[in-house]
Amino acid sequence: MGNTKNNRRVKSNDDRIDWGIIFSVLVLAVIGMLSIYVAVKHDTSNASVTKTLVSQAMWYVFGIIAVVIIMQFDAEQLWKVAPVAYGIGITLMFLLLFLYSRSYAAQTGAKSWFAIGSLTFQPSEVMKPAYILMLARVIAEHNSLYPEHTIETDWKLLGKMFLWTLPIVILLKLQNDFGTTLVFLAIFGGMVLISGISWRIIVPIFGAFFVIGAIAIYFAVFNREVLLHLGFQNYQFQRIDAWLHPENNTTGSSYQLWRSIEAIGSGQLFGKGFNVSNVYVPVRESDMIFSVIGENFGFIGGCVLIFIYLLLIFQMVQVTFETRNEFYAYISTGVIMMILFHVFENIGMSIGLLPLTGIPLPFISQGGSSLIGNMIGIGLIMSMRYHHKSYMFSNNSDFN
């Protein structure tokens, strides 16, 4: 009888780890390494394939370490860590205004990276999970203080969420990083939707954002002087032109997008096969990595990749329903929105559906900061199941 209990104990401990999420991320990592290999091998910059792959592999190792560490934090500890993580993130983003990489700013137009030699770090990427934690705490704390929702209390909650978001948006504006700002706004919007705020507030606000967006697009196309006075930059208009009319300047501002569309289209249904690259796409190892997948594996390969992302998100949602913890639910919503928006925007811009924003494809694009930020998000989701199962185990009468 004792042996049976011991076997059940081991099985329960194993069940604390969500192997489905691990498998999905592992598959994405393999796809990423193979895609980066193809991109760099056929690159014209003579970058070292081995050095690039080893560097990316090391970032995966650091990401795994981050996941293992974060899994040790239960809900109470994450609650306490949230303001500390947010404070550290804001401090790093503030310091970046003075210590940003001048060379990267000249290349990209954004002051978003620290640089020490060849090593670069983008604080906004790790700020994303810190922001998610802080916003989850703000929502959960407010709802515990005001269990009965009214229009007045809902406006208070929205105001609190806005105040914690505003410093990030201001710092990103000063860094000229519009793409990352959109990610934070997507996280904000997703968490507002499940925060319990009345639809009588949500619908008009989201409607207003839609109208403002439509007006902004109108001015971007027909009267740009208005937007220039509001702080928009010329490179942002170039991206809009490249998005709306890529065929008009295929050797200039639309070159990257046009080549990406051409590469993906050339893959047709089944692709040209692994390690084939007949169409050169600039920066395809990071922002345009989907063009490699489209050219090598075609429409079918792209659909398989999207299915893996959907499977990962489904598993995250499943963990949320299993834990039935309000604080966890807000965290998982933020992580899901972060990953979902990255996937939607990256693939959308690669095929010309959306404007170019420089947003990487999660777990696949080359880049350490983005990978670490996404792995921290996975760690937060993994910790939910890990500690939820631990709680169930410790409270099971069979093992007392």
Asked if residue 155 has pLDDT above 50, the reply is yes
Position with higher pLDDT, 112 vs 165: 165
At residue 116, what are phi and psi to the nearest 5 degrees? -125, 100
Where in the sequence is the domain holding 117, given as residue range(s)? 17-299+307-395
What's the rounded Cα separation, in Å, for the pair 340 and 344? 6
Mean pLDDT across the stretch 218-227? 78
Contacts of 104 (CB under 8 A, 6+ apart): 110, 112, 113, 115, 120
H helical segments located in 175-288: 178-193, 199-222, 224-229, 234-244, 255-266
230-255 average pLDDT score: 75
CB atoms within 10 A of CB 211: 10
Tell me, yes or no, whether 106 lies in a domain.
yes
Q: Tell me, yes or no, whether 353 lies in a domain.
A: yes
Find out whether 337 and 189 touch, Cβ atoms under 8 Å: yes
DSSP 3-state assignment of 119?
strand
Rounded Cα distance, 356 and 345, in Å:
8
Q: What is the CA radius of gyration of the chain?
A: 22
Predicted confidence (pLDDT) at residue 179 exceeds the cutoff of 80: yes
The answer to whether residue 1 is domain-embedded is no
User: What digits encode the pLDDT tens for the residues 291-320?
Assistant: 999 999 999 999 999 999 999 999 999 988
Instruction: Flag whether 369 is in a domain.
Output: yes
Answer whether residue 39 is part of any domain.
yes
The alpha carbon of 190 is separated from its chain's Cα centroid by a whole number of angstroms, namely 13
pLDDT at 149 over 60: yes
First to last CA, the chain: 14
pLDDT for position 14:
59
Residue 347 domain-assigned (yes or no): yes
Yes or no: say if 175 and 97 are a contact pair by the CB < 8 Å rule. Answer: yes
Q: Give the DSSP letter of residue 252.
A: T
The pLDDT of residue 225: 78
Angle at 156 between CA 155 and CA 157, to 5 degrees: 90
Upper half-sphere CA count for residue 174 (Cβ side, 13 Å): 14
Query: Which tens digits make up the pLDDT trace of 16-40?
Result: 788 899 999 999 999 999 999 999 9
Inside any domain, residue 11: no
Residue-wise pLDDT for 350-373, tens only, equals: 998 888 888 999 999 998 899 999
Question: Length of the chain, please?
Answer: 400
- Is residue 252 domain-resident? yes
Number of separate domains in the chain: 1
Query: What's the pLDDT at 44?
Result: 64
Is the pLDDT at 4 greater than 50, yes or no?
no
